[in-house]
Structure 1
Amino acid sequence: MSTALKHTPLHPVHIEFGAKMVDFGGWDMPVAYGSQLEEHHAVRQDAGMFDVSHMLNIDVNGPDAEVFLKRLLANDVSKLAVPGKALYSCMLNPEGGVIDDLIVYFFSSDQWRVVVNAGTADKDLAWMQHVAQADGFDVVLTPRRDLAMVAVQGPNARSKLWETRPGWEAETHALPVFTGAFVDDDTLVARTGYTGEDGFEVVLPATQVEAFWRDLAANGVRACGLGARDTLRLEAGMNLYGQEMDESVNPLVSGLAWTISLKDTERAFIGREALEAAAADRTLVGVKLLERGVMRGHMKVRTGQGEGELTSGSMSPTMGVSIGMARVPKGAQPGDPIQVEIRGKWLPAEVVKMPFVRNGKIIA
C-alpha cells in the first residue's frame, strides 16, 4: 500500500503554474515548470525562486541548547557569537557516518534553529530527541511545520526581493553571507543558498507564503523546480545528501573535512572518535568530461591511483559539458587525466577544482 505524498503550502500554486510534479523524499514537489534549462539560466543571469518548504526548521531552545548542539554536531557552534549567524555542519552517528548535513542558526545562548533536509527530517528529529534524552540535556526541540521556506537566488535576487517587500530592505541590506535577520516576528531572511549565486532564503509563516510567491512572480522572479536546483548546486560544487554522503560515509571522504572542528580537544561530539581513527584514503573531486556524453551517479571512474565512482553527474547548462563529482583514491589532483565508463565505453575526463561555476562565472 503506497503512502500519500506530503504537500507543501505552495502545492496548489505549483499545479496552477503548470509544474511537473515528482516524488522527492516523500513530498510531491515541482521538478520544472516548463524548461529546466531556462530556469537554470534565470538563476545564473537574473533571479529565480524555489519552494524549499519541505525542509524542516527545528527550534532548539533551553538552558542546555548550546552544549547539546556542541555534542550533536561535528562543527562547533561556539564559533557563533553574533545573533543570526549560521553554520554549516554534519550530524554524525557514532561510526562517523553522516546522518544529515544541515544549517544551524544562533539567536541567543538558549535559542537556536536547525534546518534539516526533507528526506531525513523525521529520522533527524528522532535522533536529536534520542541524544537529548540519553544525555539528559535540558532542551526543547520544536519542529516548525507552521513555517514555509522560499529560496530567492540569482544576481538580481536581493534587489527584486526588496522591490517586492520594501520594508525588509533596512534589516537585510547589510547582511553578511551566512547570516539571517528577523524582519517580522516569525519571518527570517537569511543570506544563504544552494546555487552558487547570491540571494536569500526566506522562512515565513505558511499562511503568508502563497501571497509572497505570487508577489515575487509578479516582480519577475522565475519559479524554478528541483531539476534546476540540482544542476545549479552541482555547478557550485555543493554536496547532496544521499549522493555525496550518507550514514555509511564519513565527511572526510565527502569533501567535508572543513566542516569538522577538532580544535576543542575536550568537545566529545558524536562520531569524533570514529573520525580520528578513520583512514581518509579516498577523497571527493570534481570531474569534467572531455568528450560528448553525460555522466551520472554510480558510473565507474579510473584514476592514476585506482578506481572510483561518480557520486553525481549531469550536463552543465552553463558550461555546455558534462560535469560531476567522484569519490576516488586519495592523490588525484586538478588537471589529472581520468576515465569514466559510460555505456560500456571508457571516455576521457579530467579532475578539476570545484566549484565549477560561481556567481555566474565559469571557474573550472
Structure 2
Amino acid sequence: MGLRTPLYDMHLALGAKMVDFNGWDMPLHYGSQVEEHHHVRNECGVFDISHMSIFDIQGAQAQAFLQYLLSNDVALLKSIGNAQHSIMLNEQGGVIDDLMVFRTETGYRLISNAVTRERVHSWLEQHATKFACTVVLRTDLCLFSIQGPMARERLSPILNSTRASIIQNLQHHQAAQDDDWFIACTGYTGEDGIEITLPATQATDFINELVGAGISPIGIGARDTLRLEAGYNLYGFDTNEHISPLTANLEHLICWEPESRDFVGRQALQTQAKQGVSEKLVGLVLEERGVLRAGQPVRIDNQVNGVITSGSFSPTLGKAIALARVPLNTEERGEVEIRRKWFPVRVVKPCFVRNGKILI
C-alpha cells in the first residue's frame, strides 16, 4: 500500500483505476484516459493533486532565505497574492525541483512535486538554519486543480460570493486567500484553470460539490498527456538533479539581476553559460504510427546523439509526441529508434497545444 490522499476512498467510489505514482496510490483514470483529456481541453475537470508538497515559509528573513535558495527572485513578488515559477538548484546547477512560489500575508507558500518531498524538505530545513525563518510542511491541506475553458463558469455557482468573485477576477500567476481557502491560477495543462487549497477536513464535501456541478474527476494519465501537449517539463524525466535548466527550457526562471544575489547554483550556471551549452530540449512529432517513450534514442544527421525524455500519444493531435534532449544545432528533422527500427520525426518548438489551439 502506498501513500494516499484524503480522497482515496472517494476515488474508488467514483470508479477510479488506482496505480502507484511515485509511492502514492493515485487515480490513473475513471474509465477513459483519452475522454478525460478531451474533457479538460473542451470543458473542464478536477484533479486531486493533494500529493503535492506545500511548504509555508515565515519569519523576518523569509524573503532573504528564498532569494538565496531559489533561482527566481522573490523580491519581484511585490504584492500579496503574486506568484512565480522558480527552481531549487544544487551547487552544481542541477534541478532539485521546479516549484511555484506565492507571496502570502504571513510570508511565502511553496508548492513542489510529490516525488521530491523528502529532498526538498531536507534542503529547506538545512539552509533555513542560517536565516531567521521557519519552514512548515502543510500535511493538513488538500489541493485541487480545476482545469479547462469552462472551469470558472462551472465553479462560480457552487462558491460563496467572495470566492466566486476571486476566481472570476484572478489573473494568471496570481492567488488570493479567503479564510482557510487559498485560491490560485497557475495551471499545468495549457488551459485556463483554478487551484484551490483547503483544509483536508473539507475535501470530500468539496469534491462532491464539484462533481455535482458537472466538473468531472480526471486522473493522472490525462494530466500527463495534457502537460506534455502544453510542453511542460515532468520532474524526474525532463529534469533532475543532473540536468541544467539551461538545457531544459527553464532559463526564463533564472533571475540574474541583481548580480549581488548569490543564489545556490548561480556560479555553476554562470560557468555553463560562459562555456556554452551543447544541448537543448525540443518537441518531436511522429508522423507515422508508433509510440514515443522516454529513453528512446534520437538520431540527428545520422548520428545517435539525442534521447527522448518524456513522450506519449497526443489525443488532441492524434499522433505520438515527445520532449527530447538533442544537440543545440538540431533543426527540423530527426529519427527515433522504436523496436530496433528508425522512424522519421519532425522537430518542433516544445509547445504543441495551448488554450485548445494546436501550435505546430
TM-score by length of 2: 0.97
The answer as to 2:174 corresponding to 1:174 is: no
For 1:321 and 1:8, how far apart are their aligned partners in 2? 33
- What's 1:153 paired with? 147
- What's 2:259 paired with? 265
Alignment of 1:119-130 (within 5 A): 119-130=115-126
Percent identity between the two aligned chains: 46
The answer as to 2:343 corresponding to 1:347 is: yes
Alignment of 1:163-312 (within 5 A): 163-167=157-161, 168-183=163-178, 185-278=179-272, 279-304=276-301, 306=303, 307-312=305-310
CA contact (8 A) 2:128 2:135 kept: no
**2:316 corresponds to which of 311, 315, 318:** 318
The answer as to 2:359 corresponding to 1:337 is: no
CA contact (8 A) 2:323 2:350 kept: no
The answer as to 2:355 corresponding to 1:359 is: yes
For 1:332 and 1:201, how far apart are their aligned partners in 2? 37
Q: Which amino acid aligns with 1:363?
A: L
TM-score by length of 1: 0.96
* Deviation at residue 354 of structure 1 after TM alignment: 2.8
* Deviation at residue 176 of structure 1 after TM alignment: 1.1
Q: Which amino acid aligns with 2:346?
A: E
- What's 2:67 paired with? 70
For 2:180 and 2:277, how far apart are their aligned partners in 1? 42
For 1:225 and 1:173, how far apart are their aligned partners in 2? 25
Q: Which amino acid aligns with 1:265?
A: E
* Deviation at residue 8 of structure 1 after TM alignment: 0.4
For 2:300 and 2:208, how far apart are their aligned partners in 1? 49
Q: Deviations over 1:92-139 (max 9, x none)?
A: 00011111110000125x510000111111110111110112xx2001
For 1:252 and 1:163, how far apart are their aligned partners in 2? 44
* Deviation at residue 331 of structure 1 after TM alignment: 1.8
The answer as to 2:21 corresponding to 1:27 is: no
Q: Classify the secondary structure of the residue corresponding to 1:125.
A: helix
Q: Which amino acid aligns with 1:203?
A: T
* Deviation at residue 330 of structure 1 after TM alignment: 0.5
Q: Classify the secondary structure of the residue corresponding to 2:136.
A: strand
The answer as to 2:105 corresponding to 1:102 is: no
More displaced 10-residue stretch of structure 1: 305-314 or 238-247: 305-314
* Deviation at residue 163 of structure 1 after TM alignment: 1.6
For 1:235 and 1:163, how far apart are their aligned partners in 2? 30
CA contact (8 A) 1:305 1:331 kept: no
CA contact (8 A) 2:152 2:167 kept: no
* Deviation at residue 171 of structure 1 after TM alignment: 2.4
- What's 1:46 paired with? 43
For 2:16 and 2:259, how far apart are their aligned partners in 1? 50
Q: Deviations over 1:199-221 (max 9, x none)?
A: 10110000011111011101111
Structure 1 residues without counterparts, runs of 5 or longer: none
User: Alpha carbon RMSD of aligned pairs, Å?
Assistant: 1.1
For 1:176 and 1:76, how far apart are their aligned partners in 2? 20
* Deviation at residue 305 of structure 1 after TM alignment: 8.9
Q: Classify the secondary structure of the residue corresponding to 2:231.
A: coil
* Number of residue-to-residue matches in the alignment: 355
**1:142 corresponds to which of 132, 136, 143:** 136
For 1:323 and 1:288, how far apart are their aligned partners in 2? 5
Structure 2 residues without counterparts, runs of 5 or longer: none
